[in-house]
Amino acid sequence: MIPGKSKWYFEPITPDLLHGVSIRKTLYTGATRYQAVEVLESGAFGRMLVLDGKTQSAELDEFVYHEGLVHPALLTHPRPESVFIGGGGEGATAREVLRHPGVRQVAMVDLDSEVVDLCRQWLPQHHQGAFEDPRLRLHVADARAYLEQTAEHYDVMVLDLPDPLEGGPAYQLYTEEFYRLVRTRLRPGGVMVTQSGPASVVNCREVFTAIHNTLERVFPVVAPYAVHMMSFGETWGFNVASLAPDPRTLVAREIDLRLAQDGVSGLRFYDGTTHLGLFAIPRFLRDALSAEDRAITLEHPLFVF
């Protein structure tokens, strides 16, 4: 134990690997109807949101995750005006979407209103007032049921959902059936992106490669990428899926010009150079993706550790 640091939070990365951070204060601990919730004040990362024992985001580096999740998809679409967000209870995903002045309406659908309320109270640096933006409409609902019932269609759909834990609220939203539903709600030329679980050398085959393989059954273009998240203790994966445009065809100068012309400001992680690096994934990931033959379905779901 490090001298002067008496309280620690440890999170398993794999059954053989732990990630730890010192805790200065527990701001909230409890349980909603759907999941256990903790808001912690950590020594290294500031305030952290933990759901069902898994870190969702931390104050220090959440911008890496949320900018990395949102902007590659929005820049892939030539003119995104209508955006759907599944999950994203912290409000940081909405914050990044709303940086784009051309976005006229955002439908955010989150199942757990208690988590949203806790984030609004305890994580103001995450949402930064996004919930007050008149372009945002918050719907408390299951994302699948909402998409089945709505007549709306979207230019971009961002899935910032909890990990597919066994018995958790979101595992059905990583299936081929759900991705086919998402496709029906995209406008022509539409783009979707989903967080896709850990993508490090020790656990990239946990769900990341299977999510990618499942999406390839549904969309003609699927582009995997990853960012390093220090607060997660590992690299985290994403997949952009599209009906036409491919984010890997964009060049750095084009992205920087678009961001400037669209009036997108305040970014700390994402720009044209970063975009190119995101999709230059290492060989072990490319090999793992090529070797993957699993598809996630309602009949054969897949769960993270």
What pLDDT does 97 receive? 98
**Residue 52 shares a structural domain with residue 150:** no
Beta pairing, strands 82-87 & 54-58 = unpaired
Residue 31, domain CATH: 2.30.140.10
pLDDT band (50, 70, 90) for residue 168: confident
Residue 198, domain CATH: 3.40.50.150
Number of structural domains in the chain = 2
pLDDT band (50, 70, 90) for residue 4: low
Q: Which two tokens stand for residue 42?
A: 């950590």
| Predicted confidence (pLDDT) per residue in 20-70, tens digit | 999 999 999 999 999 999 999 999 999 999 999 999 999 999 999 999 999
- The answer to whether position 300 is within a domain reads no
- Exposure class string for 81-115: b at 16+ Cβ within 10 A, else e: ebbbbbbbbbbbbbbbbbbbeebeebbbbbbbbbb
**Residue 109 shares a structural domain with residue 51:** no
- The answer to whether position 304 is within a domain reads no
What pLDDT does 169 receive? 78
What pLDDT does 5 receive? 63
- The answer to whether position 305 is within a domain reads no
**Residue 143 shares a structural domain with residue 223:** yes
C-alpha 250/C-alpha 245 separation (Å) is 9
Q: Closest Cα to residue 92, out of 121, 125, 117?
A: 125
How confident is the model over 187-194, as a mean pLDDT?
A: 97
What pLDDT does 305 receive? 79
pLDDT of 204 > 90? The answer is yes
**Residue 50 shares a structural domain with residue 90:** no
Tell me if residue 133 is catalytic: no
Boundary (domain end) residue, out of 58, 79, 100: 58
Q: Which of 112, 155, 160, 163 is catalytic?
A: 160
C-alpha 122/C-alpha 162 separation (Å) is 19
| Predicted confidence (pLDDT) per residue in 265-288, tens digit | 999 999 999 999 999 999 999 999
pLDDT band (50, 70, 90) for residue 94: very high
CA angle 122, 171, 295 (to 5 degrees): 140
- The answer to whether position 2 is within a domain reads no
